[in-house]
């Protein structure tokens, strides 16, 4: 025979209080005497009472459901952000609905309508790059937090890695090793991440009074580009003793070609990558030194700020999160 699940009526009856008082005590409301709260909590424990999420949602006006909208179908950057967000939501017993717009604006609008029809309490929008993206917040009935790719609207809440600061960490590390002929190989010139990392390199070299070795080489986020850049750089500038690469993919290709050209890494040539993409960083010979944008922490923080926004305490602006070497 199925055991009947205890209800809030049972808890109120055992504690000798009204259902309204039992509900207030279980929800941590302040307008309940401490002795009454203890009596209600003891009754709930004795009856193994589990509040119904549906009933709790009806009482609070919340569904305890959050939408995660991403455009990064490859998942390279969105998955760590989503994992961090889910960690934070799991702790608060939130259900998470994930939608992938695959970089398509029409598909994104369709997913937005679908999520709103399910009465989500809030949304996290995860970018596929750190380039600012159009805001979706206008006229939405729920709060939105942007992660990795910031909103173009400064009144929205956005969390992004501090790529300028991350690049400065990388270059200061190379300078601390005594390297003075530092070159830079990075991704496409029109990517904000590539521009920010080049800016960080220039700032760190500038504060040390050291000139960059040659011009920044802009290319693609690929190992093939890293190999090609190494052949160009090391043939033309054999005196180069360090390279800061704008991604781990570029760095992995660079290290491979440098070895083929007879340069020993890190003895003759120090190389630092970016992104802490473990599948590459841990597998190169030697393993890469790399800048970690801490994307899971970024996702957790975005989720915590979405909780705050759902509670009426939004934190507008673009918030930059520290990276680590």
pLDDT at residue 47, rounded to an integer: 87
Whether the per-residue pLDDT at 53 is higher than 60: the answer is no
CA proximity to 250, closest of 278, 270, 230, 264: 230
Considering only 58-72, 284-298, 304-318, which range has the smallest mean pLDDT?
58-72
**Rounded CA gap, 42 and 52, in Å?**
18
Task: Note the maximum CA span of the chain.
Answer: 86
Is-contact 79 296, C-beta < 8 A? no
pLDDT at residue 73, rounded to an integer: 65
pTM: 0.79
Q: What is the mean pLDDT of residues 147-169?
A: 96
**Rounded CA gap, 14 and 36, in Å?**
12
Each residue of 248-288: pLDDT tens digit? Answer: 999 999 999 999 999 999 999 999 999 999 888 888 888 89
Higher pLDDT residue, 298 or 71? 298
pLDDT at residue 140, rounded to an integer: 87
Q: What is the mean pLDDT of residues 233-244?
A: 91
| 226-251 as b/e: b if 16+ CB within 10 A | bbbbbeebbeeeeebbbbbbbbbbbb
pLDDT at residue 59, rounded to an integer: 44
- Percentage above 90 pLDDT, the chain: 57
Summary mean pLDDT of the chain: 89
Each residue of 100-140: pLDDT tens digit? Answer: 888 888 999 999 999 988 889 999 999 889 999 999 998 88
């Amino acid at each position: 025979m199925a055991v009947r699940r205890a209800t809030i009526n049972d808890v109120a009856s055992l504690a000798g209080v009204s259902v309204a008082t039992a509900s207030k005590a279980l929800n941590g409301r302040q307008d309940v005497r401490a002795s009454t709260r203890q009596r209600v909590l003891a009754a709930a424990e004795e009856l193994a009472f589990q509040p119904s999420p549906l009933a709790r949602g009806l009482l609070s006006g919340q569904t305890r459901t959050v939408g995660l909208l991403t455009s990064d179908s490859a998942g390279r950057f969105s998955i760590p952000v989503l994992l961090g967000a889910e960690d934070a939501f799991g702790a608060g017993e939130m259900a998470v609905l994930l939608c992938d717009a695959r970089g398509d604006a029409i598909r994104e609008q369709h997913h937005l309508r679908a999520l709103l029809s399910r009465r989500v309490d809030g949304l996290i929008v995860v970018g596929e790059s750190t380039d600012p993206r159009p805001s979706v917040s206008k006229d939405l009935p729920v709060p939105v937090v942007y992660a990795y790719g910031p909103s173009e609207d400064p009144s929205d809440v956005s969390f992004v890695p501090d790529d300028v600061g991350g690049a400065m960490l990388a270059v200061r590390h190379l300078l601390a090793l005594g390297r003075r002929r530092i070159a830079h190989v990075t991704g496409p010139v029109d990517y904000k991440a590539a521009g920010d990392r080049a800016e960080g390199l220039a700032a760190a070299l500038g504060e040390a009074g050291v000139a960059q070795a040659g011009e920044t080489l802009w290319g693609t986020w690929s190992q093939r580009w890293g190999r090609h850049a190494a052949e160009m750089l090391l043939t033309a500038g054999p005196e180069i003793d360090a390279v800061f690469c704008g991604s781990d993919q570029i760095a992995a290709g660079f290290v491979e070609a440098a070895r083929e050209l007879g340069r020993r890494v890190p003895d003759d040539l120090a190389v630092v990558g970016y992104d802490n993409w473990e599948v590459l960083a841990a597998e190169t010979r030697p393993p890469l030194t790399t800048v970690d944008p801490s994307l899971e922490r970024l996702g957790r923080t975005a989720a915590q700020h979405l909780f705050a926004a759902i509670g009426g305490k939004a934190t507008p602006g673009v918030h930059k999160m520290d990276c680590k070497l």
